Amino acid sequence: EPEVTQTPSHQVTQMGQEVILRCVPISNHLYFYWYRQILGQKVEFLVSFYNNEISEKSEIFDDQFSVERPDGSNFTLKIRSTKLEDSAMYFCASIKDREIAEAFFGQGTRLTVV
Amino acid sequence: AQKVTQAQTEISVVEKEDVTLDCVYETRDTTYYLFWYKQPPSGELVFLIRRNSFDEQNEISGRYSWNFQKSTSSFNFTITASQVVDSAVYFCALREPNSGYALNFGKGTSLLVTP
Cβ contact B43–A107 (<8 Å): yes
Q: Report the C-alpha gap between A5 and A78 in whole angstroms.
A: 17
* Cis check: omega of the bond before A8, within 30 degrees of 0: yes
Cβ contact A42–B108 (<8 Å): yes
Chain B: closest CA distance from residue A100 (Å):
9
CA angle A93/A13/B39 to nearest 5° reads 35
Optimal mutation site among B92, B95, B103, B109, interface A, most CBs of chain A within 10 A: B103
Give me the pLDDT at residue B1, please: 61
What is the three-class DSSP state of B22?
coil
Cβ contact B47–A48 (<8 Å): no
Per residue in A30-44, pLDDT (tens digit) is 899 999 999 989 999
Give me the pLDDT at residue B100, please: 67
Cβ contact A110–B44 (<8 Å): no
Residue B92's nearest CA partner among B80, B73, B105, B79 is: B105
Find out whether B19 and B6 touch, Cβ atoms under 8 Å. no
Per residue in B4-48, pLDDT (tens digit) is 999 999 999 999 999 999 999 999 888 899 999 999 998 899 999
Give me the pLDDT at residue B14, please: 97
CA angle A94/B68/A93 to nearest 5° reads 10
Q: Which whole-number Å values give the CA distances from A35 to A76, B62, B66, B76, B109, in the listed order?
A: 12, 30, 25, 24, 19
Q: Report the C-alpha gap between B97 and B79 in whole angstroms.
A: 29
Find out whether B34 and B93 touch, Cβ atoms under 8 Å. yes
Ranges of residues in chain A with a pLDDT under 70 are 100-101
